Amino acid sequence: MPEIAEIARAVHFLRLHFVGKVIKHAEAIDDGNVFGKVGTDGPKMATDLIGKKIVSAGTQGKYFWMELSKAPHLVMHFGMTGWIHIKGERTAYTNYYKKMKPDELDKWPPKYWKFKIETEDGDEMAFTDPRRFGRVRVVDCPGEDIRKYSPLVENGPDPVVDLDVFTEDYLREKMKSRRVPIKALLLDQAVISGIGNWVADEVLYHAKLHPEQYCNDFSDAEMKQLYESIRYVCQTAVDKLGDSDQFPDDWLFNYRWGKGSKNAHSHTPNGDKLAFLTVGGRTSCYAPARQKKTGQIVSSVKKEPLESAEEKDSPKKAPGTKGAKSDNKSEELEADGSEVKPERATSRKRKIKIEEDGEVTFTTNNAKAHPSKKPTRSQYFVDAKKPKRDAGQTEETKVDISGRRRSGRLQSKAA
Q: Which residues are catalytic?
A: 2-3, 62
The CA angle 54-6-283, to the nearest 5 degrees, is: 145
Q: Which residue, 32, 38, 27, is CA-closest to 77?
A: 38
Is residue 10 within 8 A of residue 91, CB to CB? The reply is yes
User: Are 180 and 26 in contact, with CB atoms under 8 Å apart?
Assistant: no
Q: What is the separation, in whole angstroms, between the first and last Cα of the chain?
A: 80
Q: Are 320 and 345 in contact (CB under 8 A)?
A: no
Q: Residue type at 343?
A: E
For 362-384, letters b (16+ CB in 10 Å) and e give: bbbeebeeeeeeeeeeebeeeeb
The SS3 assignment for 404 reads coil
Answer whether 36's CB lies under 8 Å from 129's CB: no
Position 279, amino acid: V
- Which amino acid type is present at position 317? K
DSSP, res 392: T
Q: List the beta strands (DSSP E) in 158-204.
A: none
- Separation between Cα atoms, residue 192 and residue 152, nearest integer Å: 12
d(CA 180, CA 212): 8
- Total length of the chain: 415
Q: If residue 333 lies in a helix (H) or strand (E), which one and from where to where?
A: strand 331-333
What b/e string do you get for 190-206 counting C-beta neighbours within 10 Å, with b at 16 or more? ebbbbbbbbbbbbbbbb
CA neighbor of 96 nearest in space, from 244, 233, 284: 244
Residue type, 84: I
* Region of 132 on the Ramachandran plot (φ > 0 left; ψ -120 to 50 alpha; else beta): left
244: helix, strand or coil: helix
CA proximity to 66, closest of 28, 25, 10: 10
